[in-house]
Each structure stands twice: as C-alpha cells, then as structure tokens.
Structure 1
Amino acid sequence: MKRNMPVMLIALLLVGLAMYQSGTIKETSQASAAAAGMGSAVEMARNKPVPGFTLESLDGHTYQVGGQREKPLMINFWATWCGPCHEEAPDLKQVYEKYKDKFDVYAVNVTKGDRVADVKGFVKQYQLPFPVLLDKEGKAAEMYRILFVPTSFLIDKQGVLRDVIHVLPREQLEKRIQMLVEG
C-alpha cells in the first residue's frame, strides 16, 4: 500500500491538471499579461481567438501565432527533459508528414527551463520537419498557461482555439488533426 501511494498521488495530480486544462483556460493576472506585452488580461477559451506571440526558431526565422492563417495550426509546447515529449515526437512527425499540406505544426520549446544544445539534439534525434520555436523567456508558455508539457493547442484558420490536448496515441492524435483540417 505504501509503495502505491506515490503513484496514486501522481495520478490524481495529473487527472486534476488534465481536467483543469480541458475546461476553459483563463488568464486573469494583469501583471502576467502586461509582462507578455498584451497590456491587459488575456483570456483563452475554446472557440475564442488565441493570443498572439512571435518567437524565433532554431533556424533563425521568426514565426507569428495569432490571427488568420492559410492553414490550421498545432502549437506543441514541449521540453527535452520531458519523457512524454520523447514518446510523442515520432507520432507528431508522422501525423505532420501525412497532413503537412493541410496544417502546420509549431513545436514551442520551453527554453527557459531547457538548453538550446539539448533542443538541437532532440530535433536531430527525431528529425523533426516542422519549425521549432524557442520560448527563451517563457512568455508564450505563461500566456498559454502551460502547467506541464507536452501540451498542444489546435487552432483553426481564423486563429480560434478548437482543442487542447496532451499525449495521445497516434490514431487519436490523427483523428483530432483530421477534425481540425476538415472543420
């Protein structure tokens, strides 16, 4: 019984966090929004526009999130020290390669708690074909209320949040992507 207690506590914590993130995500802190350059409180909720941000990628290009786009977008927040991120990377790559003409993926590394050298090694190891953005100051992760990684946001062409997901089996991930691109 004593051996199972830590596992049960971790499971309860993860269920609680998943329930929190699967509902409405709200940012009510004026200070956080101001620090992120938004000027006022940021509110995130399904079927509402996502807040915008701009980040530089590993290859030096700058990418913007927010507003209308040509294709739907998945923003995947991750870190190299995250075990589930390692499990998820091959599936993200596979799904992206299958649907890359219909949607984009931006992998946002929470670089504030990571090292760029480790990020480069991760990208090389999994041969990630999509842009890897560096959230060096943690502002995008804060804006999107990232409590744990990996967390992905599915955003439609109008810049509206459609779904928040965590690690899923490839088949379920693909179904969510299909719903996004067909929606």
Structure 2
Amino acid sequence: MNRNRWILIGLLLLLGVALYGNTGKGLLSFVRTTDKSETETNLDQNSESLSALAAAGAPKPGSATPEFTLKGLDGKSYQVGGQREKPLLLNFWASWCDPCKEEAPDLVDLAGKYSDKLDVYAVNVTQYDKIDNVKEFVETYNYTFPVLLDEKEEVFRKFNGAAFPTNVLIDKNGVIQELVIGVLSAEELEAKIKKLVD
C-alpha cells in the first residue's frame, strides 16, 4: 500500500509538471506543439534580436578599435589597438561552435592567401571553452595564425560580443571597418578582406 501511494504521488507530480509545461512557462514547454511557420518566425525574430543587441553596443565602423593585450596559445602576448603594419581580421570563436567549424577552413585559406597583407588573430573566448578543446580545434583545422585566449571574456565584451563567430575587420590605423556576426561564404569574406587590404 505504501509503495502504491508513492507511485500515485509521482504520477500526480509528473502530470502537474506536464500541464504547467504546456502553458509555455514550465520545464516541459518544449512539449507544446507549434506549427513550423511559428517556429521559423520565432527563430528569425531571435536572430534579428541577437544581431540588433550585438550591434547596439558594439564599436561602430569608423571608430577606434578597443585596445587590449592577450596571451596566445604560443605563450606570446599580442596587442591590438592603434596603428599597425597590416590590417587585422579578429575572429572570435569557440571550439564547440558549429558555424566556427564551418568557417575555419576558409579562415585558414584566406590567412595563407593574404599573409603578406593581412594579420589574422583567432580570439578564443576561453571562458566558454576548455583549453584542451581549443588545442584540438587548432590542430584539426591547422591554424597557423596566432590563437589568443580571452579567458575572462573581457575582450569579447569590449566588442559587445553576442554570438560566435564574430569577425572584426580593422585597418592599419586601428579603425574598425566592419563587424560581422555569423558566418559568411568564403567569397563574401574574401571580398571584405580585399576591400580592407587595398
């Protein structure tokens, strides 16, 4: 009898959680059915909101790059801000980010192709990552450019980072020319790089 009472209590709790979840506010709100168009609309609105949020507080094109210094995987310190010998592509990423994995081969190709005219720094936002995964990612995708470690997310916050990847194109004078959230095709990214280095 005692065992049956506990089973009944458990079933009632599950039923209560499921009913509460169907209101869209509970733990099981994912059970609620929506049609595909509503889901797509919500995703589109969330993407637009994310982009708007990131753009709202981010340094604008034409403004000076926030200054920072970060250590790289190679143990060296890298400084950004002010004048430099070559334009710079800053790539903020994380090892678990699928769009970052998609973009990685293009970054490697473009960094090699424009190595005499462009610096590329891959800034891993290490607060959201694990160093072993970072090293594995770098090895898997054959990164030959510096990989900087933003261990406390301080630099990503300076750019009002909201999503991975985020690419910042900076000219030789340390002025931001463009801030790109999300993945571009290799052709689109190369067009932006050509504009930056010319």
Give 1:12's match in structure 2, choosing from 14, 30, 45.
45
Give 2:189's match in structure 1, choosing from 154, 173, 176.
173
Is 1:57 the equivalent of 2:57? no
Structure with max Cα Rg? 2
Q: Residues 39-91 of structure 1, C-alpha deviation per residue, up to 9 Å, x if partnerless?
A: xxxxx221111110000001101100100000000111000111100000001
Q: Residues 98-155 of structure 1, C-alpha deviation per residue, up to 9 Å, x if partnerless?
A: 1011000100001001000000000000001110000001100111110011001000
Quote how far apart the aligned CAs of 1:8 are.
2.9
Structure 2 residue aligned with 1:67: 82
Paired positions, count: 164
Q: Name structure 2 gaps, 5 residues minimum.
A: 1-33
Q: Normalized against structure 1, the TM-score is what? A: 0.85
The whole-number CA distance in structure 2 between the counterparts of 1:25 and 1:71 is 26
Q: Which runs of 4+ in 1 moved over 6 A?
A: none
- Contact 1:74–1:106 at 8 Å: present in 2 too? yes
Q: Normalized against structure 2, the TM-score is what? A: 0.78
Q: Secondary structure at the match of 1:55?
A: strand
User: Aligned partner of 1:15: which letter?
Assistant: E
Structure with greater proportional helix content:
2
RMSD of the TM alignment (CA)? 1.5
State the identity %: 45
Quote how far apart the aligned CAs of 1:25 are.
3.8
Quote how far apart the aligned CAs of 1:163 are.
0.3
